[in-house]
Structure 1
């Protein structure tokens, strides 16, 4: 019996605009994949990202290119050879993991011989705005233990001081999204120390991070756009202290697990991150959270509405999705938005 594969685009409006140094989002446009076999259906989701040359159409075309092979039984390892890292491979890989869990009667965590995901402290994001608006957003987080602050090169110090004043006890992560120069990164180090920033994420464009060689930062620097798969780590050594693992960059949970193991063996710290997405993107990423110093999985919290039974925020911690949502054998009916 052949597998079936269906892929579609979904549009999830946001509750508020999400601004970073590269632009603003008002909705999460994702690709959802369903792989069916023997009465069971595995779900996966991916977020095409223009920064990496992806569109909804290009990702759907990549998925279609391997549809026959998936139907005939292509494995996750064969998938890694058939498609490059990115959103298309991620959606299929995660759907295959979910399908295996449902067919085997065992959760993905059990298949990986690791504990089931537990509620985990996550970073809540203050998107780029005026300093006053960012302060209000931070204050509205009501004592969130970790806040990620999106900045650009216009007035980063003012924005950071405003957020710190509004959230004096929070651990701060600063994310310029490749928006800084090396000179700005170097000169702002005393401010980062003063404000007790815990991490700076991808300050420089990925094609300029060679400037970090020999730089001794006061605050650890995390590679995001510069780190996709385990093979990238050789070049990142001596430039970054932490790597951000996102399933849409690795091309799925399978490669993400390899990247996590390789990063640990090389002495890198680990962040687990996400795109703005629904809970279907976050459920598999939570399997990495237990082994990360920083967890940035608040993507679904920006949506006006999420899948029923998805992840939820409870007292600053992200609680896993309900049984049967993804990666567990218990079936549960779920709805999808109109597209």
Structure 2
């Protein structure tokens, strides 16, 4: 008989993290442990905020499948027990961790993936152009992700580019633009050597992209949660941002990554802010991706024991004591 531990945790951010329509000051997460007689597997999730998920709602979902987990339900059964989302993610990642500890292998070995070095983008949140430029100047590393909305988008990104002439820069509008803004801004962003624009239009209101030829790649985030939305997203975007909270765990994330690669789309792995325990399974997905956005712990006041390191953006593999 397994033992299952479920709880909500709060992890304070060291400063407000601002994106289109939201200000985050704390990461509210669901923490999961699944233990057998000898081993303990762990996972965590922040949930999908724009779908209304909270730590409490995820906890309630996880409690609904406690008896099945205690009875030995595995990852494949879990896919039928819970919908995609944060609760399933935290549980799925705990089951991967438990399987790795039982087998004596690392998770990437179980997944048939050869690990390579990963460098993450580091994020500049919304602020005035001058403050965003100053924040970009403080980033150690040459990969920078810039949060934008529909206000002063060109002024903000131009200020960041002036501050970091050599950096590889991508932008994330978090559904904050109109199609007319995209048409105006995309050529200017190309001229500023911006590598990619993430989720410029609102989820469910981006069908116009099917006939649009962008001057730089567009990446679906909110517009592609999991494999069920891939076909439509692939007709509108050149890249998919995979987040484990959206896919409902590493199992579905890897399946989505392989599907996208088979269809020739580029990939990015992202995060919803969390500790190194949330980034560790993202590190596995990152092995299949062009871009990695795994800087969530850098936004927090503290991290878990045996945390991953982020030296100038270079992400260390998770230690066995942490996960996987």
Q: Normalization by structure 2: what TM-score?
A: 0.98
* Partner in structure 1 of residue 145 of structure 2: 148
Instruction: Note the C-alpha offset of 1:48.
Output: 2.3
* Partner in structure 2 of residue 37 of structure 1: 36
Give secondary structure in 1 for the equivalent of 2:114.
coil
* Partner in structure 1 of residue 263 of structure 2: 266
Give secondary structure in 2 for the equivalent of 1:285.
helix
1:131 and 2:129 aligned: yes
Partner Cα separation in structure 1 for residue 101 and residue 235 of structure 2: 42
* Partner in structure 1 of residue 244 of structure 2: 247
Partner Cα separation in structure 1 for residue 319 and residue 54 of structure 2: 30
Partner Cα separation in structure 1 for residue 179 and residue 100 of structure 2: 46
* Partner in structure 2 of residue 172 of structure 1: 169
Partner Cα separation in structure 1 for residue 119 and residue 108 of structure 2: 19
Residues 161-200 of structure 1 mapped to structure 2, 5 A cutoff:
161-200=158-197
Partner Cα separation in structure 2 for residue 240 and residue 295 of structure 1: 18
Instruction: Note the C-alpha offset of 1:295.
Output: 0.6
* Partner in structure 2 of residue 84 of structure 1: 83
Question: For the Cα contact (< 8 Å) 2:47–2:272, is it kept in 1?
Answer: no
* Partner in structure 1 of residue 227 of structure 2: 230
1:157 and 2:154 aligned: yes
Q: Give the 4+ runs in structure 1 shifted more than 3 A.
A: none
Partner Cα separation in structure 2 for residue 189 and residue 120 of structure 1: 28
Q: Deviations over 1:17-65 (max 9, x none)?
A: 1110121111111110000101211000000232012112211111011
Give secondary structure in 2 for the equivalent of 1:18.
strand
Give secondary structure in 1 for the equivalent of 2:241.
strand
1:113 and 2:112 aligned: yes
Partner Cα separation in structure 2 for residue 297 and residue 316 of structure 1: 9
Instruction: Note the C-alpha offset of 1:257.
Output: 0.6
Instruction: Note the C-alpha offset of 1:160.
Output: 0.3
* Partner in structure 2 of residue 331 of structure 1: none
1:96 and 2:95 aligned: yes
Partner Cα separation in structure 2 for residue 124 and residue 237 of structure 1: 26
Question: For the Cα contact (< 8 Å) 1:174–1:200, is it kept in 2?
Answer: yes
Give secondary structure in 1 for the equivalent of 2:206.
helix
Q: Please report the RMSD computed on the Cα atoms of aligned residues, expressed in angstroms.
A: 1.0
Q: How many residues align?
A: 324
* Partner in structure 1 of residue 285 of structure 2: 288
Question: For the Cα contact (< 8 Å) 1:122–1:298, is it kept in 2?
Answer: yes
Partner Cα separation in structure 1 for residue 318 and residue 259 of structure 2: 28
Partner Cα separation in structure 2 for residue 237 and residue 30 of structure 1: 31
Question: For the Cα contact (< 8 Å) 2:28–2:54, is it kept in 1?
Answer: no
Structure 1, unaligned runs of 5 or more: 328-339
